[in-house]
Amino acid sequence: MDRTKDSPDVRQTILIIDDEKDVHYSFRRLLEREPLEILSAESGDEGIKMARKSMPDLIVMDIRMGQQSGLDTLKELRQMNPKQVVVMMTAYGTSQTAIEAMKRGAYDYVLKPFDIPQLKDLLFEALAAARAMKQIVAFPTKLNAEETGQTIVGNSPAMQQVYKLIGQVAPTSTTILITGESGTGKELVARAIFQNGSRATKPFIAINCAAIPENLLESELFGHEKGAFTGALAQRIGKFEQCDGGTLFLDEIGDMPMTTQTKILRVLQEGEFSRVGNNQSIKTDVRIIAATNKDLWQAVQRKEFREDLFYRLNVVRVNLPPLRERSTDIPLLVGYFINKFRLKQPTGPSQIADEAMAAIQRSTWPGNVRELENCIQRAMVLASGNTITLANLPEEISRGARATPALNEPPKPVFSAAVPTTESAPATATAAPAPGTDSGKAALAHAVETLFHFARSDKQFKLLPAAERELIVRALAETSGNQVQAAKLLGVTRATLRKRVDKFGIQKRMAID
């Protein structure tokens, strides 16, 4: 399992609840090198108190603690927070109780004594599931990202369409198909839909259909009965049962085998399924969000994907265009990633040379935003000064080996700043500007230049009021109408902002307190 991919930006917390001191010791040893905070509770009651106080990302709990049943504690924990991810620990021979726990919403269970690599994989998978539910994904029309959040960055018309669609479909329970090349942000969009929908307080579980062996996928999704196939030693509860009322993200659905597709179609049409090895129907109320980087229609033509399922999924389709088709988003993304990595590496570079940005904009980015993100992360580590230069980029990008001919003359970045000319730093740089800094002042100078250019050519253009109004509207939009935050962003007091809002007659619905 690749744990570095999309790794967490914040330290996650695990709470271990077990009455055996040895177990606490083992977990601390097992996870001591991981960037995790580990909390311990020795009884169910103590665990509940701790969970209420610390809101851990993951709880690992013994199913039996002295007289106390872990199942009762689980019930209380899930009532407190229906999205709490809980992994139960159980001894051999008590798997029926473990199954009961899964029916009550446990994420999974592990058998004691532990198979260490398997346990570690499960813990990281559960932590990723918790992160997917918790980490806020904001998009520009609804900027509410908390400190730990992620933002879908991009202002291109194509991305604006995407935000609009997310806003429209999120509150419904409609099935959604998200398409787009690898690394275009499909998972991010799936989480944004979940978080902005009516099921946001219920679980969100992601299944990567391509990563699970064909013969195990059905049992993962629908569960199985004991003895349903060789190796089915006990009954297992599938994700459709576990996730009842919530959202199931079927990632890489283009890789789903035909037989499983038939069963998904049944869920979509009739809202029911059966466990493998049992004909009994089970009702389920799960919202499906599917994603794929394959051309599903072509797969239908090749008879690899069911046509009826395609139509069912394709009712609402969110298509994420490849990065090379929205190169105007690239400077924004670069600035976002620089700022993001500076949180982890505060002494890292804060700006990028214009020629480096130009090379980035010329590149075709087959790995899309993920590849760009990795490229910036790498460049920040390699850069020696305050500026990312051409030399810090991979050769195929700096030399233009992957450049698109159409993009040979990329638009000049909006913010251009003079930086001290050293051997490694070129004459100009595009910065993630901060007010008061040299690059901030230079960015302002550049913007002023552009505005005067317009003012000279258009006599109707009332420069000062127009610019002031535009800045206020923008600040309010960016803070979802929060005047305190908008005033802070603009560097004025709230009273001053209020006066301006009144003076310009900016719509009150934008300027909410």
The residues that touch ligand ATP, with contacts defined as CB under 6 A, are 6, 150, 152-154, 180, 182-188, 293, 333, 369-370, 373
Residue (218 or 373) nearer to ligand ATP, CB = 373
In the complex, the smallest distance separating the C-beta of residue 293 from Mg ion, rounded to whole angstroms, is 8
In the complex, the smallest distance separating the C-beta of residue 152 from ligand ATP, rounded to whole angstroms, is 4
Q: Which does 180 bind (CB under 5 to 8 A by kind): Mg ion, ligand ATP, none?
A: ligand ATP
Residue (51 or 176) nearer to ligand ATP, CB = 176
Buried b / exposed e along 130-159 (16+ C-beta atoms within 10 A): bbbbbbbbbbbeeeeeeeebbbbbbebebb
Q: Which does 353 bind (CB under 5 to 8 A by kind): ligand ATP, Mg ion, none?
A: none
Residue (120 or 370) nearer to ligand ATP, CB = 370
In the complex, the smallest distance separating the C-beta of residue 218 from ligand ATP, rounded to whole angstroms, is 22
Residues making up the chain, counted from first to last? 513
The DSSP output letter for 411 is: P
What backbone torsions phi and psi does residue 112 show, to the nearest 5 degrees?
-95, 145
In the complex, the smallest distance separating the C-beta of residue 281 from ligand ATP, rounded to whole angstroms, is 32
Assigned token pair, 193: 């839909």
Q: Which does 150 bind (CB under 5 to 8 A by kind): Mg ion, ligand ATP, none?
A: ligand ATP
Q: Count of CB atoms within 10 A of residue 78's CB?
A: 16
Contact call for residue 218 and Mg ion (CB under 5 A) = no
Assigned token pair, 339: 């700022």
Residue (247 or 293) nearer to ligand ATP, CB = 293
Residue (61 or 130) nearer to ligand ATP, CB = 130
Assigned token pair, 187: 């998972």
In the complex, the smallest distance separating the C-beta of residue 404 from Mg ion, rounded to whole angstroms, is 24
Residue (250 or 358) nearer to Mg ion, CB = 250
Q: Which does 370 bind (CB under 5 to 8 A by kind): Mg ion, ligand ATP, none?
A: ligand ATP
71 contacts 104 by C-beta, under 8 angstroms: yes
In the complex, the smallest distance separating the C-beta of residue 365 from ligand ATP, rounded to whole angstroms, is 11
Residue (182 or 404) nearer to ligand ATP, CB = 182
Contact call for residue 181 and Mg ion (CB under 5 A) = no
CA angle 473, 195, 319 (to 5 degrees): 80
In the complex, the smallest distance separating the C-beta of residue 313 from Mg ion, rounded to whole angstroms, is 16
Return the closest-CA partner of residue 366 out of 337, 401, 333: 401
- 167 CB-side CA count, 13 A: 12
What backbone torsions phi and psi does residue 414 show, to the nearest 5 degrees?
-65, -45
CB neighbours of 302 closer than 8 A, spacing ≥ 6?
none
In the complex, the smallest distance separating the C-beta of residue 41 from ligand ATP, rounded to whole angstroms, is 33
In the complex, the smallest distance separating the C-beta of residue 292 from Mg ion, rounded to whole angstroms, is 9
Residue (152 or 221) nearer to ligand ATP, CB = 152
Q: Which does 154 bind (CB under 5 to 8 A by kind): ligand ATP, Mg ion, none?
A: ligand ATP
Q: In this chain, which of 57, 108, 181, 187 binds Mg ion, going by CB under 5 A?
A: 187
Contact call for residue 255 and Mg ion (CB under 5 A) = no
Strand 64-65 versus strand 68-69 pairing type: antiparallel
Q: Which does 373 bind (CB under 5 to 8 A by kind): ligand ATP, Mg ion, none?
A: ligand ATP
Residue type, 363: S
Return the closest-CA partner of residue 127 out of 1, 14, 9: 14
Buried b / exposed e along 54-74 (16+ C-beta atoms within 10 A): eebbbbbbbbbbeebbbbebb
Q: Count of CB atoms within 10 A of residue 392's CB?
A: 22
Residue number closest to ligand ATP, CB atom: 185
Residue (6 or 37) nearer to ligand ATP, CB = 6
CB neighbours of 321 closer than 8 A, spacing ≥ 6?
158, 180, 184
Assigned token pair, 57: 């990302």
- Give how many residues touch Mg ion by CB under 5 A: 2
Site residues (CB under 5 A) for Mg ion?
Answer: 186-187
